[in-house]
């Protein structure tokens, strides 16, 4: 069984499991790490996962009142899952609304961060097609542009095929890639590595600033690696906004990758040197 590291925090990650013991271990590890870090934790489980909910709750220790919650979807007579607030979930927008409300309630309630894990078997139903699933995983990246929000999507290999799992994995930025929205204007910061394992997540991340009627600042100063596919996404994004500049701050390796896929042929794409990391000495 794989163990989750603290570097998971602030990212949108997917893992596949093959047994009940494996998902129990993954969820317990995830929840315990987040509780220990002082984050609020919410775990969404399938309606039939009562034993799993009890086992994870028993395995997590030291949680403050209201800090750790497990929620099981109740399909009821309509066949539509119910959310944590008692309302029916009908599709992508409804689940995204639920997550947004959860984050707002958590951060507004004084918790420094929220960690959300989902047993994704709730998507394996006639009302959801693979198209709906990919739309959800793309759109939910909006939810994780805040570094205070962590997401873990758990897919059962016994119910989701290998090819589908590979495609789902590619739209999740983490664990190698993190992104943050903020700063002046439309500011997007990428950190980590962008490769074949997560390159398909980049279009949905770039969409977060695509509609900005201003310069887009893409700070890739701490992006250690980008492959040709990832670089191509960035160049095409800049080309799609011919009347607004996209400024990319990056190191030499990322600059070379962008130039190899045609950055110099896009007038609206401006490459700038990376911003060096600022080291802060401990107070004496």
Does 282 fall in a domain?
no
pTM: 0.79
Question: Using one digit for the tens of pLDDT, what is the confidence trace for 171-225?
Answer: 888 888 988 887 555 899 999 999 988 888 898 899 888 888 889 999 999 999 9
What's the confidence (pLDDT) of residue 211? 86
Q: Are residues 140 and 195 in the same domain?
A: no
Q: How confident is the model at residue 89 (pLDDT cuts 50, 70, 90)?
A: low
What's the confidence (pLDDT) of residue 267? 96
Q: What is the CATH number of the domain that holds 192?
A: 3.30.750.24
Question: Using one digit for the tens of pLDDT, what is the confidence trace for 111-137?
Answer: 999 999 999 988 887 777 888 888 888
Does 31 fall in a domain?
yes
Q: How confident is the model at residue 1 (pLDDT cuts 50, 70, 90)?
A: very low
Domain-ending residue, one of 129, 145, 175: 175
Does 1 fall in a domain?
no
CB count within 10 Å of CB 253 equals 12
Q: Are residues 183 and 148 in the same domain?
A: no
Q: Are residues 158 and 60 in the same domain?
A: yes
Does 17 fall in a domain?
yes
Domain-ending residue, one of 113, 142, 175: 175
Q: Are residues 163 and 78 in the same domain?
A: yes
Domain count, the chain: 2
Q: Which residue has the higher pLDDT, 80 or 35?
A: 35
Does 279 fall in a domain?
no
Question: Using one digit for the tens of pLDDT, what is the confidence trace for 228-277?
Answer: 999 999 999 999 999 999 999 999 999 999 999 999 999 999 999 987 66
Domain with 171 in it: 6-175
DSSP string, 239-278: HT-TTS-EEEEE-HHHHHHHHHTTGGG-TTEEEEEPPPPP
What's the confidence (pLDDT) of residue 278? 47
Q: Are residues 104 and 137 in the same domain?
A: yes
Per-residue pLDDT averaged across 8-23, rounded? 91
Does 130 fall in a domain?
yes
Q: What is the CATH number of the domain that holds 71?
A: 3.40.50.300
Question: Using one digit for the tens of pLDDT, what is the confidence trace for 218-234?
Answer: 999 999 999 999 999 99
Q: Are residues 116 and 18 in the same domain?
A: yes
Q: Are residues 66 and 167 in the same domain?
A: yes
Q: Are residues 203 and 250 in the same domain?
A: yes
Does 47 fall in a domain?
yes
Q: Are residues 53 and 109 in the same domain?
A: yes
What's the confidence (pLDDT) of residue 238? 96
Q: Are residues 189 and 81 in the same domain?
A: no
Does 283 fall in a domain?
no
Q: Are residues 158 and 260 in the same domain?
A: no
- Helix locations, the chain, DSSP H: 20-36, 50-59, 92-108, 130-139, 162-170, 202-210, 228-239, 252-260
Q: Are residues 137 and 16 in the same domain?
A: yes
* Degrees to nearest 5, angle at CA 126 with 122 and 127: 80
Q: How confident is the model at residue 76 (pLDDT cuts 50, 70, 90)?
A: very low
Per-residue pLDDT averaged across 26-50, rounded? 92
Domain-ending residue, one of 160, 175, 190: 175
């Amino acid at each position: 069984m794989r163990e989750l590291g603290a570097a998971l925090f602030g990212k949108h990650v997917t893992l596949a499991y093959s047994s009940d013991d494996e998902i129990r271990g993954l969820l317990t590890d995830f929840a315990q790490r987040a509780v220990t870090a002082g984050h609020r934790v919410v775990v969404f489980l399938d309606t039939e996962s009562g034993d799993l909910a009890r086992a994870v709750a028993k395995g997590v220790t030291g949680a403050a009142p209201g800090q750790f919650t497990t929620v099981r979807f109740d399909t009821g007579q309509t066949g539509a899952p119910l959310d944590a607030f008692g309302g029916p979930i009908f599709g992508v927008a409804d689940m995204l609304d639920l997550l947004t409300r959860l984050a707002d309630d958590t951060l507004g309630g004084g918790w420094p961060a929220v960690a959300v894990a989902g047993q994704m078997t709730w998507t394996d139903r006639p009302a959801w097609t693979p198209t709906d699933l990919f739309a959800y995983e793309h759109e939910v990246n909006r939810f994780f542009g805040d570094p205070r929000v962590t997401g873990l999507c758990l897919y059962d290999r016994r119910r989701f095929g290998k090819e589908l799992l590979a495609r789902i994995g590619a739209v999740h930025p983490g664990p190698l890639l993190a992104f943050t929205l903020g700063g002046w204007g439309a500011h997007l910061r990428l950190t980590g590595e962008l490769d074949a394992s997560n390159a398909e997540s980049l279009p949905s991340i770039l969409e977060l600033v695509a509609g900005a009627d201003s310069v887009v600042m893409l700070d890739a100063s701490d992006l250690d690696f980008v492959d040709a596919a990832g670089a191509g996404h960035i160049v095409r994004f800049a080309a799609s906004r011919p009347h607004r500049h996209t400024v990319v701050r990056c190191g030499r390796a990322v600059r070379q990758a962008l130039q190899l896929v045609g950055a110099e042929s896009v007038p609206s794409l401006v490459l700038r040197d990376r911003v060096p990391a600022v080291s802060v000495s401990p107070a004496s």
